[in-house]
Amino acid sequence: MAINYDKLMALKAEGQEFSYGDRETMLYALGIGFGRDPLDEKELPFVYEKNLKTVPTLATVIAWGAGAIGDSGINYAMVVHGEQRLKLHRPLPVAAKLLADSRVVGAWDKGEGKGAIIVTETDLREKGGDKLCTLTSTIFARGDGGFGGPREGAPEPHKLPDREPDMSVDAETRPDQALLYRLSGDRNPLHSDPEFAKAVGFPKPILHGLCTYGTCCRAIITGALGYDPTQITGFDVRFSAPVFPGDTVTVDIWKDKGVISFRARVKDRDAVVINNGKCTLKA
């Protein structure tokens, strides 16, 4: 079944209800690596309900399952997460009841045998309140090229500065990182089941891409922002290679006025795992 462009572009889901509490806020922070040292007074506020702080990338899990893509003709067995963008309209509360409105905002045809790019957008708002954030997700549907959609106009990635990084932060992951992170929503067996991972071509389970995304946010908060997550108003990345639980992710950081550019590498494998990163800061 091929993609029907008009049907795909008309897909939307409005008023989806979700909620989260301080438990989910702390669990997410633990899942991306905060709190390894329980005596670290700078990290404790991310994992302890006293003066609890929220990590901006928590936005990717508080309405897990929200989305507009359903019966669209996409071959989901061939889909990979290409990019994730986040725009914060205000800092996330530590707990909230939410409404999610999702829609497809673009689909581009790379050609027969070359795949398709599909972009969805989800607005999260507090029930009875204002909009909290907008999540934009790009998927690369490897098996769905040649459906007749537009060829040009797909979103362009952020360009990294043409100079050496201003700093690099090593962010360790644990061998059990994916087992902890998956409790925040994404229970795809690719991240937990060794037999499943081998069946789809990996030597062992891989870390969730959005866990690596959150790990990069942790590195920037701790390494460049003095542990103040409220400075972040946007967080955009392009996924480029998998991370295995236990890898150390090195986040290269470029600091400019209002923007932190970044990429993430696993030096042991000489692999760039996240590229074209852009962390927008409040004025």
Residues involved in catalysis:
186, 191
Burial 71-102 (b: 16+ CB within 10 A, else e): ebebeeeebebbbbbbbbeebbebebebbbbb
Which tokens go with 5? 């462009």
Considering only CA atoms, which of 29, 58, 87, 46 is closest in space to residue 278?
Answer: 87
Considering only CA atoms, which of 92, 81, 190 is closest in space to residue 136?
Answer: 81
Distance CA 239, CA 208 (A): 11
What is the separation of C-alpha 21 from the centre of its chain, rounded to a whole number of angstroms?
Answer: 20
Considering only CA atoms, which of 263, 245, 264, 274 is closest in space to residue 31?
Answer: 245
| DSSP 8-state class, residue 270 | T
Which tokens go with 72? 């669209």
Residue 283, classed as helix, strand or coil, is coil
Rounded to the nearest 5 percent, the helix, strand and coil shares of the chain are 25, 35, 40
Q: Is 8 exposed, middle or buried (0-12, 13-18, 19+ CB in 10 A)?
A: buried
